[in-house]
Chains A and B, each alone.
Chain A
């Protein structure tokens, strides 16, 4: 009995304690009982997070949108993969977005989002992200949170050192990981060395429309180009790429590409490149690549094939590229907010190498070279070295920065984030991650103006951190508070696909431009109808076009007759609503191609090919009002030889 009452008392004390702390969560005065990590990530129901995090979906090919500090998932933006939820790649309007020179690609691998910048600061206009497998760069509008443009990158393979923007978004840069024959041709793989090449692409961004165009490619030796970042501030005009496999191995790279003591960080002077372009020192190479553009006026995408690209040969154009030796297969290549320091994370090295931009310029001026690689000068290692962070951990991968002069580096093998000071190179803090962290992200952490409050670590392995879900376990990120001297782990949260990298931004830089609906009068979709009076059904041989509208809560027309087996029926559906958060959906029995989800003021199209006579219902798939269940209709399908006249109606009219 005594034991039991002790147990009851203990339980009560604990529950009172818990209750007190949970009761105090909303308030500011938690006292000694407060649970600080829970409070720091608690966003009360109905309240907004302070930051957006755009987290890449890795092998899902998409980009997901999270709130920080809560870790709540808001949206998965379809980019490089079809998405049933939004009909992306299924409806007629968005199919062209996934076209490439290799045909329609339903699924790719997305890696590195980067937010557009003005004067080196995040401006909240666009997010760019790379398709790694079939090389492409996408631009996502932060007005609509939709992919507006995808450009394919020719002469590239494994588009990994991408997509990073210069400080006024003059360029978004895409570097190849694999070297390949350029132009592609049939040749023995064993003849790689000296024959394979790499192309680093500088894609010009129109500042008003965001439209992308490949300005030029820099042709480089046949190394692997792993990651890249722009110079900023004093180093604006330069771009830095990490390389590995300077051995130019073509097999068993895990051994054969780890032979050299040092690989390189390649420094590319893109202002010099612009001069060479102006002076006509480029070669126009035939190339075949697609450029896909989605318009919010036509609510449709157009895919265009491009035929050529301008190429600058780094081996032949002096002053265009310099190579900075960096130990042991560097992966991350990160530039601090001042633009002075370039951090190379030699993933097989026990130390971090930091190069100085000022010293690099001096070494170039004094021609302090250590030979060359295919005619590209190699700067002496000691000449550009700013410092070394000695033995901070095992397997350094990536570095981001705060606004107080500290850098944060992830260590894959030792599963930790290490905080160190720029200039003194001393380690000041370390915190474990769970487990095997890859990238990390500080909002603005790769710009002139980092917002040093949160750090998101993106893990490769989660093992025991969540309830088990079979062999395929949860993908995960972790949130740290970095506002104090010591980092504090606040939250684990699951992600969609493997979170390769992320870009974060204070919410107020985005929310004010967020679009609420599309104006019907601006809808230039060729098959839009802007009132029920205009709805109609038109037969063109075996094609039937249904021009339909939706409004809470009916379709117009909702009774259609005269369709025949073997017809190809196009449903062009315009959502007449002009209010926030009132999409309508449509699905018809036997829909082999797509359902639709149509935003207010938008027109979308799917194709239906009825295979047997009958009367087939369709209905709204997005719960739109109290009478949503009443939002339905019928299509009568008759045998091929029938004489049923084409007709349509709503409420008998």
Chain B
């Protein structure tokens, strides 16, 4: 009688562990996928999103700068200033910190970026508010890029100091 009891307890334990171990392994898999491991060198440098190759953006186009500035005021300014840390980083020298393609991917795929890209995740950890997806078109993003290139140029000419991305030095 007692043996039967042991057998039953043992088999119940085996069943339990079998079921939960399969759960654990799938969870472990998910975590591994979430670490951002397996990004290509291009993605590490240029972000994840619709821009998958280096672009030749050419000279700064004043017409684009004008449109980009309007978009910046309407869509970005609630969280970003040029020379002041707000909800998000100050953006005057963002083209110095990031590649053009990285900036475009960040604008066009912010949700994916803060989830998967190690650099974007670091910024999220600093600022806490995930960048919002304003559902801009690629054309609007390119105009914004020219605007950001133009304000950097202006900043360098006028020697406007850069606001650091992080409050403390990063490892």
Residues of A participating in the B interface, judged by any CB pair closer than 8 Å: 2, 5, 8-9, 12-13, 15-16, 19-20, 23, 517, 520, 530-533, 549, 551-554, 556, 576-579, 582, 625-627, 651
23 CB contacts below 8 A, A to B, read A2-B1, A12-B5, A15-B12, A16-B15, A23-B15, A23-B19, A531-B74, A532-B77, A533-B74, A533-B77, A551-B132, A552-B79, A552-B87, A552-B129, A577-B132, A578-B75, A578-B135, A579-B133, A579-B134, A579-B135, A625-B130, A626-B130, A627-B128
B61-87 vs A, Cβ < 8 Å mask (1 yes, 0 no): 000000000000111011100000011
CA distance A13 to B15 in the complex (A): 12
- Residues from chain B with Cβ under 8 Å of A8 in the complex: 5
- Residues from chain B with Cβ under 8 Å of A556 in the complex: 78
Whose C-beta in chain A lies nearest to the C-beta of B1?
A: A5
Q: Are B78 and A532 in contact (CB under 8 A)?
A: yes
CA distance A533 to B71 in the complex (A): 12
- Residues from chain B with Cβ under 8 Å of A16 in the complex: 8, 11-12, 15
Q: Are A578 and B134 in contact (CB under 8 A)?
A: yes
Cβ of B88 to closest chain A Cβ, rounded Å: 10
Q: Are B19 and A578 in contact (CB under 8 A)?
A: no
- Residues from chain A with Cβ under 8 Å of B160 in the complex: none
CA distance A16 to B7 in the complex (A): 12
Contact of B2 among A5, A530, A552 (CB under 8 A): A5
CA distance A421 to B104 in the complex (A): 63
Q: Are A12 and B1 in contact (CB under 8 A)?
A: no
Q: Are A9 and B4 in contact (CB under 8 A)?
A: yes
B33: interface (CB < 8 Å): no
Q: Are A531 and B19 in contact (CB under 8 A)?
A: no
- Residues from chain A with Cβ under 8 Å of B12 in the complex: 12, 15-16, 19
- Residues from chain A with Cβ under 8 Å of B74 in the complex: 520, 530-531, 533
Q: Are A625 and B129 in contact (CB under 8 A)?
A: yes
B55: interface (CB < 8 Å): no
Within B1-38, which residues are at the interface with A (CB < 8 Å)? 1-2, 4-5, 8-9, 11-12, 15-16, 19
Cβ of A368 to closest chain B Cβ, rounded Å: 65
B88-129 vs A, Cβ < 8 Å mask (1 yes, 0 no): 000000000000000000000001000000000000000011
Determine chain A's interface SS by DSSP, over half rule.
mixed
Known: A520-B74, A552-B132, A554-B87. 9 other contacts (CB 8 A): A16-B12, A16-B15, A19-B12, A517-B135, A576-B78, A577-B132, A579-B133, A625-B130, A626-B130
Cβ of B40 to closest chain A Cβ, rounded Å: 27
Whose C-beta in chain B lies nearest to the C-beta of A24?
A: B19
Contact of A549 among B9, B78, B128 (CB under 8 A): B78
Cβ of A179 to closest chain B Cβ, rounded Å: 54
Cβ of B34 to closest chain A Cβ, rounded Å: 16
Q: Which 7 A-B pairs have the closest CB atoms?
A: A531-B74, A579-B133, A551-B78, A578-B135, A578-B134, A12-B8, A23-B19
Whose C-beta in chain A lies nearest to the C-beta of B130?
A: A625
Cβ of B13 to closest chain A Cβ, rounded Å: 10
Q: Are A531 and B73 in contact (CB under 8 A)?
A: yes
Contact of A551 among B73, B79, B111 (CB under 8 A): B79
CA distance A632 to B4 in the complex (A): 65
CA distance A51 to B26 in the complex (A): 29
Whose C-beta in chain A lies nearest to the C-beta of B134?
A: A578
Q: Are B128 and A626 in contact (CB under 8 A)?
A: yes
Q: Are B8 and A13 in contact (CB under 8 A)?
A: yes
Whose C-beta in chain B lies nearest to the C-beta of A576?
A: B78
Q: Are A19 and B129 in contact (CB under 8 A)?
A: no
Cβ of A620 to closest chain B Cβ, rounded Å: 13
Cβ of B86 to closest chain A Cβ, rounded Å: 7
Cβ of B42 to closest chain A Cβ, rounded Å: 26
- Residue with the greatest number of chain B CB neighbours at <10 A, chosen from A23, A531, A651: A531
Q: Are A5 and B73 in contact (CB under 8 A)?
A: no
- Residues from chain B with Cβ under 8 Å of A582 in the complex: 132
- Residues from chain B with Cβ under 8 Å of A517 in the complex: 135
CA distance A2 to B4 in the complex (A): 13
- Residues from chain B with Cβ under 8 Å of A20 in the complex: 15
CA distance A332 to B74 in the complex (A): 56
CA distance A553 to B86 in the complex (A): 11
Cβ of A596 to closest chain B Cβ, rounded Å: 18
CA distance A556 to B15 in the complex (A): 57
Q: Are B5 and A19 in contact (CB under 8 A)?
A: no
CA distance A626 to B135 in the complex (A): 21
Cβ of A232 to closest chain B Cβ, rounded Å: 42
CA distance A576 to B135 in the complex (A): 11
Whose C-beta in chain B lies nearest to the C-beta of A626?
A: B128
Cβ of B24 to closest chain A Cβ, rounded Å: 14
Q: Are A5 and B132 in contact (CB under 8 A)?
A: no
- Residues from chain B with Cβ under 8 Å of A626 in the complex: 128-130
CA distance A651 to B78 in the complex (A): 11
Cβ of B16 to closest chain A Cβ, rounded Å: 7
| Given known A-B contacts A2-B1, A16-B15, A531 and B77 have beta carbons under 8 A apart | yes
Cβ of B14 to closest chain A Cβ, rounded Å: 10
CA distance A586 to B111 in the complex (A): 25
- Residues from chain B with Cβ under 8 Å of A532 in the complex: 77-78
CA distance A9 to B6 in the complex (A): 10
- Residues from chain B with Cβ under 8 Å of A578 in the complex: 75, 132-135
Q: Are A9 and B5 in contact (CB under 8 A)?
A: yes
- Residues from chain B with Cβ under 8 Å of A625 in the complex: 129-130
- Residues from chain B with Cβ under 8 Å of A554 in the complex: 78, 87
Cβ of B74 to closest chain A Cβ, rounded Å: 4
CA distance A552 to B2 in the complex (A): 63
- Residues from chain A with Cβ under 8 Å of B135 in the complex: 517, 578-579
CA distance A651 to B87 in the complex (A): 11
Contact of B16 among A9, A13, A19, A553 (CB under 8 A): A19
- Residues from chain B with Cβ under 8 Å of A576 in the complex: 75, 78
CA distance A552 to B135 in the complex (A): 15
Whose C-beta in chain B lies nearest to the C-beta of A556?
A: B78
- Residues from chain B with Cβ under 8 Å of A531 in the complex: 73-75, 77-78
CA distance A466 to B148 in the complex (A): 62
CA distance A582 to B110 in the complex (A): 14
Whose C-beta in chain B lies nearest to the C-beta of A601?
A: B135
Contact of A553 among B8, B19, B129, B133 (CB under 8 A): B129
CA distance A471 to B30 in the complex (A): 48
CA distance A467 to B51 in the complex (A): 56
Q: Are A19 and B86 in contact (CB under 8 A)?
A: no
- Residues from chain B with Cβ under 8 Å of A651 in the complex: 86
- Residues from chain B with Cβ under 8 Å of A9 in the complex: 4-5, 8
- Residues from chain B with Cβ under 8 Å of A553 in the complex: 87, 129
Q: Are A19 and B2 in contact (CB under 8 A)?
A: no
CA distance A533 to B12 in the complex (A): 66
| Given known A-B contacts A579-B132, A627-B129, A19 and B77 have beta carbons under 8 A apart | no
CA distance A19 to B17 in the complex (A): 12
- Residues from chain A with Cβ under 8 Å of B16 in the complex: 19
- Residues from chain A with Cβ under 8 Å of B134 in the complex: 577-579
CA distance A8 to B4 in the complex (A): 11
CA distance A552 to B9 in the complex (A): 53
CA distance A651 to B130 in the complex (A): 20
- Residues from chain A with Cβ under 8 Å of B129 in the complex: 552-553, 625-627
- Residues from chain B with Cβ under 8 Å of A15 in the complex: 12
- Residues from chain A with Cβ under 8 Å of B132 in the complex: 551-552, 577-579, 582
CA distance A19 to B129 in the complex (A): 42
- Residues from chain B with Cβ under 8 Å of A533 in the complex: 73-74, 77
